[in-house]
Amino acid sequence: MSDKTILRALKGEVLPTPPIWMMRQAGRYLPEYRATRAQAGDFLSLCYNSDLAAEVTLQPIRRFGFDAAILFADILLLPQALGAELWFETGEGPRLSTITDPEGLRALKGRDDIHDHLAPIYETVRILSRELPRETTLIGFAGAPWTVATYMIAGRGTKDQGPAHLLKDTDRATFSALIDLLTEASIEYLSKQVEAGAEVIKIFDSWAGSLKGADFEDFAVKPAARIISELKARHPGLPVIAFPREAGPGYVGFAKKTGADCVALDNSVSAQWAAANVQKDGCVQGNLDPRHMVTGGEALIEATREVVRAFRNGPHIFNLGHGITPDADPDNVALMIETVRGA
């Protein structure tokens, strides 16, 4: 068995101190990240510059000594590789050309035509596989099909994913075909990351919580199960973390339904509830409220200890319930890590 703590937790081992990493740990709250991004020129240029993307991935490892590094990229690089136009509006986030009908869907590339475009991402993984400390686990990732589809259909992020729900409800054939394409393309993309050196894969379904009833099963559970099944067939022993954010009761049984080795939890559910209802099926990841990275103090220390205590009887990877925000204080990150390792 590997001596890397995250890999041990993902195999179901209960460790005296949980391993720790942080979603968006490479990002704007760090001055060194801001300097490197300025050097790259813009966000997409940073993503596609393998040397600089590897550098920002390594920065939080050097500063904080996290137990894992996650590839620096973006979930919308995959739709761009499929032929969607992608750009970022300063202060407003991503914009894409929209896919709302069969004609737009037919204009996209196939799953096997993405790799030339994504070659710089695979090179970033290869660099990190060489450069990371021996004890640090390398995590690759992609967005889940539903979440990526919501951006492709609306052309931007939306509060309620309304355009995607509308297409799902009015033209289910086109919507389902888009989900199928994204599922197959995600398999190819993630498999190439593993071939390049990723040791763990994480699937981010950031908008899973807006899917209800049968739609949650059809468009959150089933695509994740398909991706995980195929990845594990190609790469036996590969651990996969699934993050169906704000799934609420849908967290229960998600690991068994999808084959995920770990379920990442947002902070809308309590650690105590998740320990009783989700951790019983295996490893969980989470779920400190990210606002503590801004506010700090005794509240941060106590909330961190509470998460560690709640999950101490099962396999656990400590993380936030969502990504760290740009206004976070790096000193609070250091305090969180100190608390976890001393709790």
212 contacts: CB under 8 Å, gap ≥ 6:
none
Gyration radius of the chain's alpha carbons: 19
Quick one: residue 108, left, alpha or beta (phi over 0 = left, psi -120 to 50 = alpha)? beta
- Between the CA atoms of 37, 40, 43 and 45, what dihedral angle is there, to the nearest 10 degrees? -160
Q: At what angle do helices 172-196 and 162-170 cross, to 10 degrees?
A: 120
Instruction: Indicate if the alpha-carbon torsion angle 18, 27, 293, 263 is positive or negative.
Output: negative
List the catalytic residues: 24, 28, 37, 74, 151
What DSSP line would sit under 263-332, residue for residue?
EE--TTS-HHHHHHHTGGGSEEEEEE-TTHHHH-HHHHHHHHHHHHHHTTTS-EEEEESSPPPTT--HHH
CA dihedral sign, ordered 212, 217, 222, 228: positive
Question: For residues 202 and 140, is the Cβ–Cβ distance under 8 A?
Answer: yes
Distances in Å between the Cα of 153 and the Cα atoms of 25, 58, 156, 163, 211 are 28, 34, 8, 6, 15
Which stretches of the chain are assigned E, i.e. beta strand? Answer: 68-70, 86-89, 93-96, 137-143, 200-205, 240-244, 262-264, 283-288, 316-320
